[in-house]
Amino acid sequence: MISTKNLKKSFGDNEVLKDISLDVKPQEVVVVIGPSGSGKSTFIRCLNLLESVTGGHVYVTGKDLTDKKTNINDIRKDVGMVFQHFNLFPHKTILDNVTLAPVHVKGMKRAEAEEKALALLKKVGLADKAKAYPDSLSGGQKQRVAIARALAMEPKVMLFDEPTSALDPEMVGEVLEVMKQLAKDGMTMIVVTHEMGFAREVGDRVIFMDNGYIVEENEPVELFSNPQHERTKAFLSKVL
């Protein structure tokens, strides 16, 4: 579904991703953990080319994103993304936030897009906020709208870049709940997070990244209870 081969990324002289190869299967939920500065956010942002890639390859549904002939806008229709800081469009209502891309990118009719958007908002529990503006929502509500907005494009895979890191603790649960439901529905997901409980419960596979490398990967139960690598042990002893 989505894979990388010897992916490298540098910012100037600073090599953030050194050699990342990963293969995510359809319907798989991969959780990426690691200390800050390990390159997890950069990695997930390379998967839809929000960051340009310095070396290696990124494949989404078989197409090589690093190939200049690939139309990145077409690929991005299939790759939803949820950001740490929500990035809702503040000048649009919640409903318009969700319908904007389907109408303008997919050419969907407004009535049809709104019907779908309302169904999605209902799914994330915010149908009553359709006419509100993002400013009037809590952080947790904003993030649920952001998820609905990404889902409105009917993506084949969803990327979550620390979706709960900017939230007040009491709002983390409602967002994770939506994500769990999404995983249950069979969505392919890659999630960068510090929520170890979520990783354990929902993840099919957990990846531990440090210093630009994938240090260790395993099923969550195995990785959390029996880490093989020293750095994994050191990290987990601090966060668990």
Give the binding site for another protein (CB under 8 A): 48, 50, 73-74, 76-77, 79-81, 83, 85, 87-91, 100-101, 104-106, 146, 149-150, 153
CA distances from 159 to 83, 146, 152, 190 (A): 9, 12, 14, 5
- Is 83 or 235 the residue whose CB approaches another protein more closely? 83
CA distance 125 to 82: 17
Q: Nearer to another protein by C-beta: 91 or 131?
A: 91
Q: How far is the CB of 161 from another protein (least distance, A)?
A: 10
Residue closer to another protein (CB basis): 105 or 221: 105
Distance, in Å, from the CA atom of 63 to the CA atom of 3, rounded to the nearest integer, reads 10
Shortest spacing between CB 231 and another protein, in angstroms = 30
222 in Cβ contact with 202 (< 8 Å): no
- 3-state class of 167 per DSSP? coil
Determine if residue 203 is left, alpha or beta; phi over 0 gives left, psi from -120 to 50 gives alpha, anything else beta: beta
- Smaller CB separation from another protein, 86 or 208: 86
What residues pair up with 190 in beta bridges, in sequence order? 30, 159
Least distance to another protein, CB of residue 15, Å: 22
Question: First CA to last CA across the chain, in angstroms?
Answer: 31
Q: How far is the CB of 108 from another protein (least distance, A)?
A: 12
Minimum CB separation from another protein for residue 99, in Å?
Answer: 11
3-state secondary structure of 55: strand
3-class SS of residue 70? coil
Decide whether 83 or 208 has the Cβ nearer to another protein. Answer: 83
| Chain length of the chain | 240
Closest separation between CB of residue 86 and another protein, Å? 8
Neighbours of 62 (CB within 10 A): 8
Nearer to another protein, 158 or 206 (CB): 158
